[in-house]
């Protein structure tokens, strides 16, 4: 097997020794003196992401999440790390997986081929598999939603829950349909059942926070968003909604903290501009500005963001 020295790697990939050491410190690749061809492939992926201004912390968070979701030992070898807009995801077995939000995304690069997947489709707990009947019904329900056939989609999701009362993705999608129908009480019930079926399901807590916000139950909404952030600290949307909720309660300091977290995770686009505007307004008060610096807080470094949406997503 061909092996490459550290100097070979630096020369072939046109990277600095400092950059390689940084990836090693971030545990993105083991520290070693010789590298295999597979190692070279991993490093090439990291170099491409570096060139696209993706931080090592964002890559590491996505890798850790992918290990938990898919049970992989080394996602950089077992799957292909890709950019999807402002997000990081993995292409694996014909699907594009967003491990932090635990969803399958539409694979636009392969939409015309046999491996195209439906958009979007939350993952189940690691190590579990859906029976074929449930899988087929879920895809049919997603397609019905996309075609605007809401009643058919509702019927299919309810069939799924009859077959598997703990199938969290069906709770989420069904809850989102009721949310958009403004049937908020029913949506809340379904989102709560999703959190019970899978307590590590980040999107379930985020969507629960959104419906509680609509119901004017702000304290409960904040608790739900906090759980989403606890499960996925780099979930930008949850930080954004937490900042809004704290502002509505007049809690300027926690609002500032979450606005800054959001900008650190998603620095571009209209939502980031709004967050920066709110930060400026909050820091314009001299007392808060002094207290903030005295507490030793500082804006977080840039990273990659979750989707720039703050409304519930169809499963």
Q: How many residues does the chain have?
A: 315
The tokens describing 256, both together, are: 């500032």
Least confident range from 147-151, 244-248, 267-271: namely 267-271
Please tell me the predicted confidence (pLDDT) of residue 313.
Answer: 39
Please give the angle made by the CA atoms of 301, 305 and 311, to the nearest 5 degrees.
135
Distance of CA 243 to the CA centre of its chain: 18
Task: Tell me the two tokens of residue 206.
Answer: 């985020």
Q: What is the pLDDT of residue 226?
A: 94
- Distance of alpha carbon 27 from alpha carbon 128, whole angstroms: 28
Which pLDDT value is given to residue 92? 64
Q: State the SS3 of 66-119.
A: HHHHHCCCCHHHHCEEEEECCEEEEEECCEEEECCCCEEECCHHHCCCCCCCCC
Contacts of 215 (CB under 8 A, 6+ apart): 184, 185, 188
Instruction: Kindly state the helix (H) or strand (E) to which residue 131 belongs, with its residue range.
Output: none
Written as one string, the DSSP assignment of 8-67 is: HHHHHHT--HHHHHHHHHTTSS---SEE-HHHHHHHHHHHHHHHTT--HHHHHHHHHHHH
List of residues 6+ apart from 172 with CB closer than 8 A: 122, 190, 191, 194, 201, 203, 204, 207, 315
Phi, psi angles (nearest 5°) of residue 84: -130, 90
pLDDT beyond 60 at 213: yes
> Do residues 142 and 121 touch, judged by C-beta distance below 8 A?
yes
pLDDT of residue 186 exceeding 80, the answer is: yes
pLDDT tens for 79-101 read 777 766 656 777 765 567 777 76
* Band of residue 243 on the pLDDT scale cut at 50, 70, 90: very high
User: Domain coordinates of the chain in residue numbers?
Assistant: 1-51, 55-125, 233-315
Residue 121's SS3 state is strand
Q: Which residue has the higher pLDDT, 146 or 222?
A: 222
* Global pTM value: 0.56
- Of these ranges, 50-59, 194-203, 242-251, the one predicted with the greatest mean pLDDT is 242-251
The reported pLDDT for the residue numbered 222 is 95
Range name among 10-24, 70-84, 144-158, 249-263 with the lowest pLDDT average? 70-84
CA 97, CA 17: separation in Å to the nearest integer? 32
Q: What is the DSSP letter of 194?
A: H
Please give the average per-residue pLDDT across 35-58, as a whole number: 77
User: Rounded CA gap, 244 and 48, in Å?
Assistant: 35
Q: Confirm if 115 and 94 have CB atoms less than 8 A apart.
A: yes
Average pLDDT over residues 101-105: 64
């Amino acid at each position: 097997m061909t092996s490459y020295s550290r100097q070979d790697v630096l020369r072939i990939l046109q990277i600095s020794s400092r950059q390689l050491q940084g990836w090693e410190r971030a545990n993105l690749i083991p520290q070693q003196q010789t590298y295999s061809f597979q190692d070279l492939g991993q490093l090439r992926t990291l170099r491409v992401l570096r060139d696209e201004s993706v931080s090592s912390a964002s890559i590491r968070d996505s890798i850790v999440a992918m290990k938990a979701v898919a049970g992989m030992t080394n996602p950089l070898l077992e799957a292909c790390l890709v950019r999807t807009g402002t997000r990081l995801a993995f292409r694996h077995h014909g699907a594009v997986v967003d491990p932090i939000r635990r969803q399958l995304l539409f694979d636009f690069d392969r939409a015309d081929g046999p491996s195209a997947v439906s958009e979007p489709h939350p993952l189940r707990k690691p190590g579990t598999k859906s029976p074929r009947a449930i899988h087929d019904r879920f895809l049919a329900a997603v397609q019905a939603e996309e075609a605007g056939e809401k009643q058919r989609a509702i019927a299919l999701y309810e069939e799924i829950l009859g077959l598997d009362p703990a199938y969290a993705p069906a709770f989420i999608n069904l809850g989102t349909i009721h949310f958009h129908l403004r049937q908020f009480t029913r949506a809340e019930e379904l989102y709560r059942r999703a959190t019970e079926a899978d307590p590590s399901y980040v999107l379930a807590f985020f969507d629960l926070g959104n419906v509680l916000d609509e119901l004017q139950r702000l304290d409960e909404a904040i608790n739900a968003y906090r759980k989403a952030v606890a499960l996925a600290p780099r979930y930008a949307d949850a930080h954004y909604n937490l900042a809004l909720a704290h502002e509505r309660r007049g809690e300027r300091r926690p609002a500032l903290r979450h606005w800054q977290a959001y900008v650190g995770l998603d620095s571009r686009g209209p939502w980031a501009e709004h967050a920066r505007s709110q930060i400026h307004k909050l820091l314009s008060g001299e007392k808060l500005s002094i207290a903030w610096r005295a507490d030793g807080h500082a804006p977080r470094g840039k990273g990659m963001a979750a989707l720039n949406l703050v409304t519930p997503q169809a499963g």
